[in-house]
Amino acid sequence: MVGTGAPDVPQPLVNQLAMCGRLVIPIGDRYLQRITSVTKGPSGTIRDDGIGCVFVPLLGEHGW
């Protein structure tokens, strides 16, 4: 679970997932995101967007 909103799923976090591992992260713009679940499978990642939310922004290379 990532506790900050991001504009997209940071690839370094996906790279750390084990097979069938799941990442939950708020994705969207700086003021409105959606809780997003990313699951790593044998043929790539599966992304599922959930409910709207607002988190503090992720800063740095993969944030704003």
Hey, what long-range contacts does 23-30 have (CB within 8 A, 24 or more apart)?
25/1, 26/2, 26/53, 26/54, 26/55, 28/52, 30/5, 30/57, 30/64
Would you state the pLDDT for residue 35?
98
Residues 18-54 have pLDDT tens digits of: 999 999 999 999 999 999 999 999 999 999 999 999 9
Domain-located, residue 2: no
Which band of pLDDT confidence, cut at 50, 70 and 90, is reported for residue 12? Answer: very high
Domain-located, residue 64: no
Count of the separate structural domains present in the chain: 1
Domain-located, residue 44: yes
Domain-located, residue 20: yes
Domain-located, residue 63: no
Domain-located, residue 59: no
Q: Which domain holds residue 15?
A: 11-53
